[in-house]
Copies of this chain bind each other. A is one copy, B any other.
Amino acid sequence: MIRVVLDAMGGDFGPAAAVAGAAMASLDAEGVHVVLTGPAEVIQRELDLHPHDPRRLSLLDAGPPVPMDADPRAALERCPEASIAVATRLLREGGADGLVSAGHTGATVLSAASQLERIAGVHRAALAAVVPTEAPHGPRRDPFSLMLDVGATLHVTGRELVEFAIMGAAYSSIISGIREPSVALLSNGTEPGKGPAEVVEAHRVLSGVPVRFVGNVEGLDIPRGTADVFVCEGYVGNVVLKMLEGVADVFRELAVDAAARHLKWKLGLSMLEGGMRRLHRVADWEHYGGSPLLGFEQVIIKAHGRSGPVAIRNAIKVSAKAVEGGLARRIAAGIESLEEAR
């Protein structure tokens, strides 16, 4: 039985969405046991509203969530029993193999960094996100690539970029079922010598590591999806990811605005509904289980704040799948071969 602990208070919809998602998982995620952290009476009340399998769900009493707009360091100091802190502690003590939270991203990263051991040889944890792409990936033709880091770091060294490449490839291989995911470095030109010093160094090292490294790529390769995994420092990854969200929002608003003003456009848009839904689905990366925080012995999945019950259920399944696929072991093996190559 794989044990996944869920911060049952985190996310824009609080325990209503989280507990409903866990209840769904208890019925259809085989071989998974979910531990819910948060005030026991709050969680029990939510749980009573949903059909669930009580043999595959348990409660672990904890405090409230870290508020979405709080400074995470101050909030965790003020409330060491916050639901995310208690969930992370359970991971550390071996009471769970994976963690899912739709709560405060900074608090999730900080809880993990302060409580958990990193895999030997990994210098920095990285948050990876899926980005929508034109090209399909892997046997299931997933319409997205993985990009990391998107915000756990700011600037990094070349060695750290190489670690990100190894971690991203391991995750992509397990989750998308790609035997050898292609990995690219995000730079300002495709030539090996292009980019900041750390990118140039990473390029040199990656050529001698057991990762299918396809070289440097540029910004336009992200929407095209020319690699399965894009590697960059957290500052760049964060700006890029948030910009993609902004672009999708703006396109949507412009279309709605146009429709409101002209009857002909409204008619045209309604005829396009099927196509718009498809476009929307391509851009809707919330449904792919969330963002893994990579580099720790345990599996941590940061689900989107706006996650509803289905997204939470998916994140629980993805977390279990990564545990089952031996994520930490595969990352450790990659790092070892990196040490040997030096």
Contact B155 A196 (CB under 8 A): yes
Give the contact stretch, choosing among A24-32, A83-91, A262-270, A318-326: A262-270
Give the contact stretch, choosing among A107-115, A159-167, A231-239, A296-304: A231-239
Chain B residues with CB under 8 Å of A272's CB are 258, 265, 268-269, 272
Give the contact stretch, choosing among A42-50, A59-67, A214-222: A214-222
Chain A, 260-281, CB within 8 A of any chain B CB:
262, 264-265, 267-272, 274-275, 278-279
Contact A238 B188 (CB under 8 A): yes
Q: Of B195, B241, B247, which one neighbours A247 at CB under 8 angstroms?
A: B247
Give CA–CA (A195, B153) in the complex, Å. Answer: 10
Q: Is A336 an interface residue (CB 8 A)?
A: no
Total count of chain A residues near the partner, CB < 8 A: 51
Q: Of B222, B262, B267, which one neighbours A246 at CB under 8 angstroms?
A: B222
Chain B residues with CB under 8 Å of A262's CB are 274-275
Give CA–CA (A16, B269) in the complex, Å. Answer: 40
Give CA–CA (A234, B187) in the complex, Å. Answer: 11
Q: Of B218, B224, B253, B271, which one neighbours A265 at CB under 8 angstroms?
A: B271
Q: Is A175 an interface residue (CB 8 A)?
A: no
Interface string of A142-166 (1 = CB under 8 A from B): 0000000001001100000000000
Contact A188 B265 (CB under 8 A): no
Contact B268 A235 (CB under 8 A): no
Chain B residues with CB under 8 Å of A116's CB are none
Interface string of A287-317 (1 = CB under 8 A from B): 0000000000000000000000000000000
Q: Is A117 an interface residue (CB 8 A)?
A: no
Smallest beta-carbon distance A187→chain B, Å: 8
Contact B282 A271 (CB under 8 A): no
Closest residue to A194 on the B side, CB-wise? B154
Contact B254 A265 (CB under 8 A): no
Smallest beta-carbon distance A306→chain B, Å: 14
Q: Is A250 an interface residue (CB 8 A)?
A: yes
Closest residue to A273 on the B side, CB-wise? B268
Chain B residues with CB under 8 Å of A264's CB are 271, 274
Smallest beta-carbon distance A326→chain B, Å: 32
Contact B242 A219 (CB under 8 A): yes
Contact B282 A254 (CB under 8 A): yes
Contact B223 A247 (CB under 8 A): yes
Contact A239 B282 (CB under 8 A): no
Contact B188 A234 (CB under 8 A): yes
Q: Is A134 an interface residue (CB 8 A)?
A: yes
Contact A258 B239 (CB under 8 A): no
Contact B224 A246 (CB under 8 A): yes
> What are 21 pairs between A and B in contact, CB < 8 Å?
A151-B188, A154-B188, A187-B239, A188-B235, A195-B235, A218-B239, A218-B242, A219-B240, A220-B243, A220-B245, A220-B249, A223-B243, A240-B243, A251-B279, A258-B279, A262-B275, A264-B271, A265-B274, A267-B268, A268-B272, A268-B275
Q: Taking beta carbons and an 8 Å cutoff, which residues of A are in contact with B?
A: 134, 151, 154-155, 186-188, 195-196, 218-224, 232, 234-236, 238-247, 249-251, 253-255, 258, 262, 264-265, 267-272, 274-275, 278-279, 282
A-B pairs with the 3 shortest C-beta distances? A220-B246, A268-B271, A219-B242
